[in-house]
Amino acid sequence: MRIISYLLMGLVLMVSWSCKDGDKQKDASAEGVSEATLYFGGGIITMEGDSPEYAEALAERDGKIVFVGSKEEAVQQLGENYKEVDLKGQTMLPGFIDGHAHFFGFGAQAVMANLLASPDGNVNTIDDLVATLSEWYEANGTDKTQGWIVGMGYDDAILKEGRHPTKEDLDKVSTEVPIMAVHISGHFAVVNSKGLEEIGYTAETKDPSGGVIRRMENSMEPNGVLEELAAIPIMIQKISPTSPELVKYYMDKGQEIATSFGYTTAQEGRAMQNHLQMAEYAEAGHFKIDVVSYVDYMFPQYFDSEWYGNDYKNHYRIGGVKLTLDGSPQGRTAWRHEPYILPPDGQKKGYSGYPAIPEDSVVQGIVNKAFENDWQLLAHTNGDAAADQLLRVLAEAGEQYGNEDRRTVLIHGQLLRMDQLDSLKKYDVVASLFPMHTFYWGDWYKEIIGPEAAQKISPIKSALNRGVKVTAHTDAPVALPNLMMIAHTAVNRLSRSGTVMGPDERLTPYEALQCLTSWSAWQHFEEDRKGTLTPGKLADLVILDKDPLKVDPLDIMNIRVMETIKEGETVFKRPGDMMAKN
Q: Is the pLDDT of residue 286 over 70?
A: yes
Asked whether 331 and 441 are in contact (CB, 8 A), the reply is no
- 82-105 per-position pLDDT tens digit: 999 999 999 999 999 999 999 999
Residue 510: predicted pLDDT: 98
- 192-212 per-position pLDDT tens digit: 999 999 999 999 999 998 899
Q: Is the pLDDT of residue 28 over 70?
A: no
User: What is the average per-residue pLDDT within 169-173?
Assistant: 97
Task: Grade residue 241 by pLDDT with cuts at 50, 70 and 90.
Answer: confident
Task: Grade residue 3 by pLDDT with cuts at 50, 70 and 90.
Answer: very low
- 448-462 per-position pLDDT tens digit: 999 999 999 999 999
Asked whether 325 and 380 are in contact (CB, 8 A), the reply is yes
User: What is the average per-residue pLDDT within 311-317?
Assistant: 98
Task: Grade residue 330 by pLDDT with cuts at 50, 70 and 90.
Answer: confident
Task: Grade residue 24 by pLDDT with cuts at 50, 70 and 90.
Answer: very low
Task: Grade residue 515 by pLDDT with cuts at 50, 70 and 90.
Answer: very high
CA distances from 565 to 29, 136, 543 (A): 24, 33, 8
Residue 479: predicted pLDDT: 83
Local structure of residue 148 (DSSP, 8 states)? -
DSSP for 315-381 reads TEEEEEEEEE----TTTT-S--SSPPSSPPTT--TT-----SS--HHHHHHHHHHHHHTT-EEEEEE
User: What is the average per-residue pLDDT within 250-273?
Assistant: 97
- 542-578 per-position pLDDT tens digit: 999 999 999 999 999 999 999 999 999 999 999 863 3
DSSP three-state, residue 292 = strand
- Domain 113-238, what architecture? Roll (3.10)
Residue 119: predicted pLDDT: 86
- 121-163 per-position pLDDT tens digit: 999 999 999 999 999 999 999 999 989 999 999 999 889 998 9
Q: What is the mean pLDDT of the chain?
A: 92
Is this model's pTM higher than 0.85 or not? yes
Residue 575: predicted pLDDT: 85
DSSP three-state, residue 136 = helix
What percent of the chain is modeled with pLDDT above 90? Answer: 84
Q: How many CB atoms lie within 10 A of CB 242?
A: 13
Task: Grade residue 18 by pLDDT with cuts at 50, 70 and 90.
Answer: very low
Q: Give the span between the Cα atoms of 531 and 520, in whole angstroms.
A: 7
Residue 224: φ, ψ to 5°: 105, -20
Burial of 365 (C-beta count, 10 Å sphere; 0-12/13-18/19+): middle
Any bridge partners for residue 96, and if so which? 263
At position 77, the amino acid (one-letter code) is: Q
Q: Beta 316-324 vs 263-271: how paired, if at all?
A: unpaired
Task: Grade residue 466 by pLDDT with cuts at 50, 70 and 90.
Answer: very high
Residue 5: predicted pLDDT: 38
